Structure formats: structure tokens, C-alpha cells
Amino acid sequence: MALARAAYAVAEEVAGRDPEEARRLRQAAVAVPARLAGALAAPGPLERDADASQARAALGEVAERAVRLSTRRGSSRELARQARDLEASVRRVLGGSEGLVC
């Protein structure tokens, strides 16, 4: 949830100059907690892997979008770092496919 809050803060800062990118950043960020919850509650390994992979894809999208956005205090760079770190943790703990699933 901290990642979603950070993404919303970045989106708020850039919404005036790029409302579509801000909307897409918010969309990707809110997908992460839902997919992680799905992976943790999955009844079997196939379902867990599918949700973990989708969570990783959403995290990758958050990182990519954050890198493209510039913010005054570097909050977009920090968001990208957080998303990459969380993606690595999800990969380590929950697995998922090696490639990103969109």
C-alpha cells in the first residue's frame, strides 16, 4: 500500500502536464496489492505463480512509468526504486514467471 500511496503522490504532481500518464501510473499501482493478495491466498502453485507474475508485471510498469516522469524532489525516481525493490522481493519469495506478463 505504501507503493500505491507514493504512486498517487507522483501522479498528483504530474497530472497537470500529463493526465493520461498519471492515470496509467495510478492504475498500475493499485493492481499491485490485489495481485499480491491473490498470490498469497492462492489455492495452488499455478494460481500463485500467475498472480505473482501479474504483480511483478504491474511493478515493472510502475517503475517504467516513474522513470519517464520527472518530479521536483525526485519522488518519481524513488518510486521507481521502490517498485524495482518490491519486484525483486516478489520474485524471490513468490516466484512467478521469469518474463513479465502483461
Burial of 38 (0-12, 13-18, 19+ CB in 10 A): middle
Q: What is the dihedral of CA 10, 16, 19, 24, to 10 degrees?
A: 0
Q: How far is 55 from 49, CA to CA, in rounded Å?
A: 10
Which residue do the cell numbers 512509468 mark?
65
Is 102 contained in some domain?
no
The pTM score is: 0.87
Is 59 contained in some domain?
yes
**How many structural domains is the chain composed of?**
1
Is 15 contained in some domain?
yes
The whole domain housing 81 covers 2-94
What nine digits make up the cell of 92? 524471490
pLDDT in tens, 19-77: 999 999 999 999 999 999 999 999 999 999 999 999 999 999 999 999 999 888 899 99
Is 99 contained in some domain?
no
Task: Determine contact, residues 80/63, Cβ cutoff 8 Å.
Answer: yes
Is 71 contained in some domain?
yes
Is 12 contained in some domain?
yes
pLDDT in tens, 82-96: 999 999 999 999 876
Task: Identify the CATH number of the domain in which residue 30 sits.
Answer: 1.20.1440
